[in-house]
Structure 1
Amino acid sequence: MKKILGLDLGTTSIGWALVNEGENDSEKSSIVRLGVRVNPLTVDEKGSLEKGKAVTVNAERANKRGARRNLQRYKLRRDNLKKLLINNGLINSDSPLYECSNDRFALYRYRALAVTQQIPIQDFARVLLMINKKRGYKSMRKVNTDEDGALVDGMDVAKILFERQITPAQYLLDFYRKGKKISPQFYRSDLLAELDRIWTEQSKYYPEILTAELRNTIDGKNISACSRTFYALTHIDTAKNSGKDRMLTALTWRVDALTKKLPKEEMAYVICNLNGEINGSSQQLNLIGDRSKVLFFNHQTIGQYLWKQIQEAPQRSLAKIIFYRQDYEDEFNLIWDKQAEYYPQLLTNNLTK
């Protein structure tokens, strides 16, 4: 007697049956047990499942719960700040906390000015409430390095690149030759600047290969996809790089590509690997890091950055421009210290704690 388990897999149910199948005329086939397990899905969940996308039934509920929590925390932060400002006489319960002029960007202008000059105390309170809306993306901007347990701050690395006018590859090659193992996460803008320099230099020798069309095609692709695209459009394979010294070899090729002609295969390897490194991490996190870098090198606060964006394009949305939490804290401290020069009440213990 042979036992057979049959399954009927549907989008919203699983049917099953366990049967005994007779193998000759003397044995009679029979059903041992059968049933169905129903998994009800919404129309959207069913559509996602049919397209091959993973579906978590509770995902939407969890997302809404998270949104409610974030809203509640925002309201609590705002209420606590309002109470603190009222209790210390900076505003009263009737003070307008919204933009009350015809200039819809006036508060952004006050926020930018508050770092360098006095602003009205009620506008200062509104600026604090404006900063209080966003918490920023929390990140240490640090990465683990070698066995010594040292930490490398991404901003410190960016400063070195700027001061020495070197690329990330030149920075890494110098460390590698000194026997140090280090893998900082460079800012995307520094990697893009290196790729631009390499592309410009190698275009002198391969103008028919390194075209604007090729650059646009490989943009956003990882290493393997870039290599396939490179071969499909140019019939050039990327160079093989293996062995224990492959990191030294790759860095040497990258540095050489800045100043001299590389063989086609090595040139393709350098461009595809660097392009893949640029596009290998979160695009959003890369943008946040680059904005933080812009603030530092331009000696700007978030408010000054946003005010500049408004002046350049008043219709541009600022809603999705995200910064590190540390950048918000730095801006708050600068504004508070400057306004404390004009409003001594800001130096009371209740407010400075």
Structure 2
Amino acid sequence: MKKILGLDLGSSSIGWALVNEGANDEEKSSIIKLGVRVNPLTVDEAQNFEKGKSITTNADRTLKRGMRRNLQRYKQRREALVEVLKKHEFITAGTLMSEQGNKTTFETYRLRAKAVEEEISLEEFARVLLMINKKRGYKSSRKAKGDEDGVLIDGMDVAKKLYDEDLNPGELCLQLLEAGKKTLPDFYRSDLQDEFDKIWNFQKQFNPESFCDTAKEEVRGKNRTQTWTILSKYFVWTEGDSVWNNEEARTEERIKEYKLVGIKRTTKGYEQKLENYRWRVQALSEQLNPEIIAIVLQEINGQISASSGYLGAISDRSKELFFNHQTVGQSLMSELDKNPNGSLRNKVFYRQDYLDEFNTIWEKQSLYHKELTVELKKEIRDIIIFYQRRLKSQKGLISTCEFEQREIIVEKDGKRKTKIIGCKVIPRSHPLFQEFKIWQTLNDVEVYVADRRTKRKQDRKSTTLFSDTEDILLVEGKRYLYQEEKELLAKELFVRENMKKAEVLKLLFEDPKELDLNFKQIDGNRTGFALFSAYSKMIEKYGYESVNFKNSADEIIEKLQIIFADLGWNTELFSIDLSKDDKELEKQPYFRLWHLLYSFEGDNTPTGNGKLIEALMRLCSVEKEYASVLANVSFQEDYGSLSAKAIKKYYLI
């Protein structure tokens, strides 16, 4: 008698049956038990499933659980803060911490703004601390990326330059382009919006009907395409045209109405980009054709849209604090003074801005109250209000290498258990894994030949690489790659994301059209490609031509070495010797760069990567603006199935 479990796997249910199946005529088959487990999907979940979106049915539950945890942690901080304040007799059990009475609305906000410059009582100071404890600001995590949230703008140096030299973003970009720069900096949304408003208001004096307030509000916050669509409804203008009247033998002035239809551009690429910025600068002081103004406004709104989002707004608020010489509390109070009915919801600032405000208030009030000691400041600031617990390590979830593991017996609570220990698997972005992955693929590559006999391409530097001896490819019609061919291909894949079949055949053979591979595409070194792409952006930012990844690996590396040497940058970032021992391997600049970018999680700077940029500046001998390019490099996530030890021991020998 056999027992068989049958499963019917559906998209929203699982049917099952456990049966006894007779092995012969004497045994009788029977159903032991059966049933179905239904997982009903909501309308949204079903639509996401049909569209292939990777959204789990537990996402909403996980989100709410996180909200409950945050609320509970806030309450714990508040209880700890109240206890410390009572201990030092700032407040008593009967002290009222809320606003009560006539004309007390926003009183705590006023005290918070006042505490920066004037004395307040210890009881009032306690209320301010409790308010700061409630909202501590946004702490950036370098590894948390979300396209819907936008990006953090680290453009304070650029904003200072605009302020000191009284420039607009368009004027600064034109200066950089005319100086030979190929890349342009990021700007805060408020700076771009100011430029938009200046251009709009200046052009309004020439055509007030087209540049009306209704059109301005409608176009605010729109992207490039939406901007053009909206402006086409409002941009209608008239122009005088001189026409010869043959009957009366004189010139007549006729008024013709025009609408926004677009103009044919004669420039392309860099020249068109330069022309756009020249128009932006001219639009601030000259009357321009509405067709040109539409292009200018379209470009500015496109930049505003790119810098928008949750994180972009946080960056912009931090910039406003700096130039207005305000703390968070003063900024919020100024908003309430302008509009008492306005909402402060989602007015988020950097965590560092709140820390700066705390330090400023404490230093000011310590002049009036001896109770505010340095020790108490550290306790309240670092242990209670701004304490940030480290994320729980997930290293225990990383698998153990199947080739480098062993079982041991451990005793816990009087019970003996078996435990597997050994080397952990390697990250996929590790240079060693990337090399292993390439060679694993190259060992499986097989070349097929058609009817015609082909010869491999001669290597001028080697007389043995492609000899005149009869090739097995010509005899049997197919073969695997020779070692020399694999090495040549591996060298090219080191700097590329991938190579198509046609590119591989063209690299190795004289007549690639007569050959075929068993791979349509061979994946390259993704870590190497990410780094070399960053190198390309760095030299382009300096004014050089970007790297053409269609060139050979030798040409790419030679070009970068020459440029890096001229600029005084580290020239040892282009290669790595994986055959060295672990300690020697980790000392190589290429490995140190990868490990720094891979392992860095974040710091207490506003953008979360300030310390990383400093470390990159030291390692690569580059300036801050170029180190920022490297800091934005992200690598492939997840882990492989083998450890570094196993790869070096069994594969890369």
**Alpha-carbon distance in structure 1 between the residues aligned to 2:56 and 2:264:** 43
Mapped partners of 1:138, 1:172: distance in 2: 31
- Asked which structure has the greater CA Rg, the reply is 2
Q: 1:51 to 1:204 in 2, by over 3 A?
A: farther
Corresponding residue number in structure 1 for 2:193: 192
Distance 2:227 2:91 in 1: 60
Q: Which has the higher contact order (CA 8 A, sep 6+)?
A: 1
Aligned to 1:65: 65
Aligned: 1:340 with 2:339: no
> 1:193: Cα distance to partner?
1.4
The 1:65/1:194 distance shift into structure 2, 3 A limit, reads same
Q: Distance in 2 between matches of 1:160 and 1:332?
A: 28
**How far off its partner does 1:236 sit?**
2.2
Counterpart-to-counterpart distance in 1, 2:210 and 2:341: 40
Matches within 5 A, 1:1-353: 39-42=39-42, 45=45, 56-87=56-87, 89-91=88-90, 94=93, 96=95, 98-99=97-98, 101-102=100-101, 103-139=104-140, 153-207=154-208, 209-231=210-232, 234-237=259-262, 240=265, 242-352=268-378
Aligned partners of 1:99 and 1:106 also within 8 Å: no
Counterpart-to-counterpart distance in 1, 2:99 and 2:196? 48
Residue 239 of structure 1 deviates from its aligned partner by 5.4
CA distance in 1, matches of 2:223, 2:275: 20
Give the CA deviation at 1:136.
1.0
TM superposition shift of 1:130: 0.8
Point out where structure 2 has 5 or more consecutive residues left out of the alignment: 1-9, 15-35, 142-152, 235-258, 380-653
Shift of 1:278: 1.6
> What secondary structure does 2:57 align onto?
coil
Paired residues of 2:206 and 2:287 also in contact (CA < 8 A): yes
Q: Judge conservation of contact 2:159–2:188 (CA < 8 Å) in 1.
A: yes
Q: Show the counterpart of 1:24.
A: none
Alignment partner of 1:236: what SS? coil
- Residue 124 of structure 1, CA deviation: 0.8
Higher mean C-alpha displacement, 199-208 vs 154-163: 199-208
* Residues 315 and 209 of structure 1: CA distance in aligned 2, closer, same or farther (over 3 Å): closer
For 2:365 and 2:218, locate their aligned partners in 1 and report how far apart those are by CA, in whole Å. Answer: 51
1:81 deviates by 2.8
CA distances 1:156-181 after superposition (whole Å, capped 9, x unpaired): 32233233222111112222323345
The number of residue pairs the alignment matches comes to: 311
SS state at 2:65 partner: helix
TM-aligned CA deviation for residue 343 of structure 1: 1.5
Alpha-carbon shift at residue 228 of structure 1 (Å): 3.6
CA distance in 2, matches of 1:73, 1:116: 31
Paired amino acid for 1:178: A
Alpha-carbon shift at residue 191 of structure 1 (Å):
1.0
Does the 8 Å CA contact 1:173/1:251 hold for their aligned counterparts?
yes
Aligned residues: CA RMSD = 3.5
Contact 1:90 1:122 in 2 (8 A): no
Query: For the Cα contact (< 8 Å) 1:254–1:270, is it kept in 2?
Result: yes
Q: Do the aligned partners of 2:260 and 2:290 also contact (CA within 8 Å) in 1?
A: no
Q: Could you state the TM-score of these two structures normalised by the residue count of structure 2?
A: 0.42
Distance change >3 Å, CA 105–CA 260, structure 1 → 2 = closer
**% identity of equivalent residues:** 45
Separation in 1, partners of 2:180, 2:370 = 54
Contact 1:11 1:49 in 2 (8 A): no
Corresponding letter in the other structure for 1:195: F
Measured at CA, do residues 108 and 218 of structure 1 come closer, stay the same or move farther in structure 2, by a change above 3 Å? closer
- Letter in structure 1 aligned against 2:303: E
CA offset digits 1:71-93 (Å, max 9, x no partner): 12212332333344344x14366
Secondary structure in structure 2 of the residue aligned to 1:279: helix
Once the two structures are TM-superposed, the CA of residue 322 in structure 1 deviates from its matched residue by 1.9
| Alpha-carbon distance in structure 1 between the residues aligned to 2:334 and 2:216 | 30
Secondary structure at the aligned position of 1:345 is classed as: coil
C-alpha separation between the residues in 1 aligned to 2:195 and 2:264? 20
Change (3 A) 1:307 1:220: closer
Instruction: Describe the shift of the 1:344–1:272 C-alpha distance in structure 2 as closer, same or farther (beyond 3 A).
Output: same
**Structure 2: distance between partners of 1:250 and 1:194:** 14
For the residues of structure 2 that align with 1:160 and 1:225, how far apart are their CA atoms? 31
Deviation at 1:12, TM superposition (A): 5.9
Which residue of structure 2 lines up, in the alignment, with residue 19 of structure 1?
none
Q: Distance in 1 between matches of 2:377 and 2:209?
A: 65
Do the aligned partners of 1:239 and 1:265 also contact (CA within 8 Å) in 2?
no
Whether the 8 Å contact between 1:310 and 1:316 is mirrored in structure 2 is: yes
Distance in 2 between residues matched to 1:83 and 1:204, nearest whole Å: 63
Structure 2 residue aligned with 1:3? none
Unmatched segments (≥5 aa) in structure 1: 1-9, 15-35, 141-151
Q: 1:196 to 1:52 in 2, by over 3 A?
A: same
How far 1:209 moved relative to its partner? 4.1
Is 1:12–1:41's contact at 8 Å kept on the other side of the alignment?
A: yes
SS of equivalent to 1:40: coil
Which amino acid is the alignment partner of residue 282 of structure 1? S
Shift of 1:98: 1.9
CA shift at 1:95, angstroms? 5.3
Q: What is the Cα deviation at residue 11 of structure 1?
A: 9.7
What is the match of residue 147 of structure 1? none
Q: Judge conservation of contact 2:188–2:307 (CA < 8 Å) in 1.
A: no
Answer 1 or 2: which has greater helix percent.
Answer: 1
Shift of 1:254: 1.2
Q: Deviations over 1:172-202 (max 9, x none)?
A: 2222323345533322221111112222333
Contact 2:154 / 2:315 at 8 angstroms: preserved in 1? no
The Cα of 1:335 is off from its aligned counterpart by: 0.4
CA 303–95 in structure 1, closer or farther in 2 if over 3 Å, else same: farther
The one-letter code sitting in structure 2 at the alignment partner of 1:184 is: P
The TM-score normalised by the length of structure 1 is 0.74
Q: Is the contact between residue 174 and residue 274 of structure 2 (CA under 8 Å) also seen in structure 1? A: yes
Are 1:227 and 1:237, in contact at CA under 8 Å, matched by a contact in 2? no
* 1-structure distance, mates of 2:221, 2:115: 39
Deviations 1:44-81 (A, max 9, x none): 646x6699896641221121022012112212332333
Distance 1:264 1:11, change over 3 A: farther
1:212-260 deviation per Cα after TM superposition (whole angstroms, max 9, x unaligned): 4443443332112323444465332155452233332222221122122
